[in-house]
Amino acid sequence: MSTINKTDTLENKSNAQSNNIISVTRRNATHIITGYKARLQRVKFRLHILKLALQTYGWKRSTFSMLKQLEQKRRIVHGEFPITKWVQSNDRIAFTLYNPGYPSQQCDDVLLEEMNRIAPSSVIARPIRFAHFAITKKCPLSCEHCFEWDNLNKKEILDYNDLRNIVLKLKQAGISQLHISGGEPMLRVNDIVKLCEEFCNSMEFWILTAGYNFTKENATRLKQAGVTGIIVSLDHYNKSMHNTFRQSKDAFDNAINAIKYARQADMVVAVTLCATKSFLTKENLYRYASFVHSLDVSYIQLLEPKAVGHYAGKDVTINTEQIKILEDVYFEINYSPTYTHYPIVVYLGDYQRNAGCLAAGNRALYIDTNGDVLACTFCHIPSGNALRDELMDVVNRMRKKGCSDYIASVL
C-alpha cells in the first residue's frame, strides 16, 4: 500500500470547467459525511458491531478476540487508516460501494457472516453476499473494453420469469446486494422496476448503466421502486474522448444526464472508470476526480483493463508503475485532507493483491446473460447455470476452481 503524499495538489482543476460540467444541487438527502460527523459515525458503527457480537456470542474473551480479527480484516481490505468518509442516503450510511448501507438487516447479515467466518456460531451461514447479474444482451454502444462483447446484441435468452427465478435463488442464498447490468440494463427498465418492487426489502439494488434511456421519468420510477443507486460508466472527463471510447456521439451526454437525473431523484451515484494505459497519469486521474466531484457523485470506482471480451488478445494490462499511480490516487483522495469532500474511491485491484479475490464464490459471483454462473465479470468459464442448477452446488464448484488472476482470499 502506498503512503499519502499530502504535498500533491490537484492540478488543472480549473480546466475541467471547459468540459461543459453540469452542476447538480446539493440539497438532496444523499451526501458525503466527513470531519467530526464521520468520526462520530465511525464510533456509532463500531458500537453497533459490538452489540451484534455480544448478542450472538455473549460476554466472552473469545468475542473480543473475534472482533479484533474482524478489524484486521477491514484493514487488509480497506487499508490501515480509519474510515474518514461515509455516504449518507436517506436513513442509511455506507463507506464502500460493495456493502449494504447501515442500519439495515442486509448490513447486519453481512457483519454476522464475517463474524461467523472467524468464529462459527449458530447464525445461518450466508457465504454469498453480492451478485452481479447481466439481464440483457442488447446495447446501443460498442465500447472499447466491453467484457460482454461476445454476447452482445444476440437473441435474448432470459425472459422476465427467468430473471425473477434467478433473483429468487439469489435471495434464498442470502444475497444482500445485487448489481444489475447488461448490455444496457435500462433497455429492460420495466423488468427492473418489477424485480425491485418485489425484492428490494431483501437486498439492495444497483443499476450499472452507460446512461442510455436513463430519463428523468425512469430515474423517478427506479427510486420509487426502491433502487439504492446507479453506477455510471464514465471513462473520461473529456466529451470527445469518452464518445470515442464508447463509439457513440451521445455517450457522454447520456452519462452526464443519468447522473443528473439520478441525483435529482436522490439516488446514490457512483461512476466507473476503466483506467487504460493511454489514460493513466496522475494529472488525468485528478482532473477526472475534480470533474465528477462537481457532479455530486458519491463514489469513483477504478477498474483495470482486462484482456477479455472486446479487449481479448490485446495488450491492455497495465504495468507496475501504472498500478502504483492508481494506488497513490486511491489513498490520497480517500485519506488526504486535501480531498476531504471528494467522492470515495473504490479500487478493487488494491485489496485483490493484498487479500486475494473475494469473488469466485468466496463472497460474490457473476451471472451472465445466458444465466451462466461465473467467478466474476472478467472470468468467462461458467461453473454452472443459475436456472438449471442448484445455486449453492455451483458456488461450491466455483470455490474449488478459485480465481484465475489472483490468489485465493486469505479472508
Tens of pLDDT along 238-269?
999 999 999 999 999 999 999 999 999 999 99
Phi/psi for 25 (5° steps) reads -60, 145
**Average pLDDT for 56-78:** 92
Which residue do the cell numbers 485532507 mark?
A: 337
* Residue 131 confidence class, pLDDT cut points 50, 70, 90: very high
- Given a contact cutoff of 8 angstroms between Cβ atoms, the answer to whether 86 and 78 are in contact is no
Find all residues with CB under 8 Å of 365, minimum gap 6, and list them: 128, 130, 131, 132, 359, 373, 374, 375, 376, 395, 398
More confident residue, 82 or 49: 49
Judged by DSSP in three states, 132 sits in strand
Q: Return d(Cα 321, Cα 16) in angstroms, integer.
A: 26
pTM higher than 0.85, yes or no?
A: yes
DSSP 389: S
Supply the pLDDT for residue 378.
87
CATH number for region 13-28+127-401: 3.20.20.70
H-assigned helices in 304-359: 320-335, 348-355
Strands (E) in 219-351, as ranges, are: 229-233, 268-274, 299-303, 344-347
What are the helix (H) ranges across 236-300? Answer: 239-246, 251-264, 282-294
pLDDT at 346 exceeding the cut of 80: yes
Q: How far is CA 5 from the centre of its chain?
A: 26
* Domain ranges (residues) in the chain: 13-28+127-401, 32-118
pLDDT digit string (tens) for 307-318? 988 999 999 999
**pLDDT(151) > 80:** yes
**The pLDDT of residue 193 is above 60:** yes
Whether the CB-CB separation of 286 and 12 falls below 8 Å is answered with: yes
Report the distance separating Cα 348 and Cα 323, nearest Å.
12
